[in-house]
Amino acid sequence: MSKDRAKRRSPTRRKPLFFVDNPNKMELRWLDELPRKRKQVAVHANPQHLEEIVAVASTMNQQKYTDNLSEVGDPTHVDTDALESAIAYYNDELAHPSVPSLSELDSGCQRFMFNNPAESIRLTIPFKVPFVNEDYAVVAMTDHPSCSCVLRSKQKHAAELEIIRTRWGASHLSGSIQWIAVGQKSIV
């Protein structure tokens, strides 16, 4: 960083800042770096002094802002109807969550074993309570790094998974499948 630039940004120097705001860009520049024509334009904001930043001028009436400061924290200015309405809305939202209930969810763990050099095996997962139709979601994974599983078919009462070897090694390979099924259950 050049000395001139470091000197310009030094916190010990107090220079007024000018904020340029237009729809295409926003910039904050030192007032003495602006062209003379631009310096004649007043800043449309409240003048403030924030640490090292001093606003140049203002065209806004500060009185309308300072008058309202006395209302902050005053309980007579709280809109109780709006507050009660918001509380009722959020209580209703909490009473009816959007996550599925446990009655719509089925999960489990099932062991598998490759006894021969087969490339894949199929496993049927029965559900405790059947789903209304086949429009449910099944997520399954295996804990063995040399295997992966895919969904082969879905029925209302069961899902069929296929475990596929991804690497060849030992002929006897075992692991387990963890699965979750979510959907609309039949009323039993």
3-class secondary structure, 147:
strand
C-alpha 105, offset from chain centre: 24
Confidence category of residue 104, pLDDT binned at 50, 70, 90: confident
Q: Domain residue spans in the chain?
A: 14-70, 102-182
Please give the backbone phi and psi of residue 157, each rounded to the nearest 5 degrees, phi first: -100, -10
Domain at 102-182, CATH class: mainly beta
Phi, psi (degrees; rounded to nearest 5) at 149: -130, 145
pLDDT in tens, 1-58: 555 555 555 555 555 555 555 555 555 555 556 555 554 444 444 444 444 444 444 5
Distance of CA 144 to CAs 19, 120, 176, 185, Å? 61, 14, 7, 31
User: What predicted TM-score, i.e. pTM, was given to this entire model?
Assistant: 0.45
- pLDDT score at 47: 46
User: pLDDT category, 139, cuts 50, 70, 90?
Assistant: very high
Element (H or E) spanning 82, and its range?
A: helix 80-95
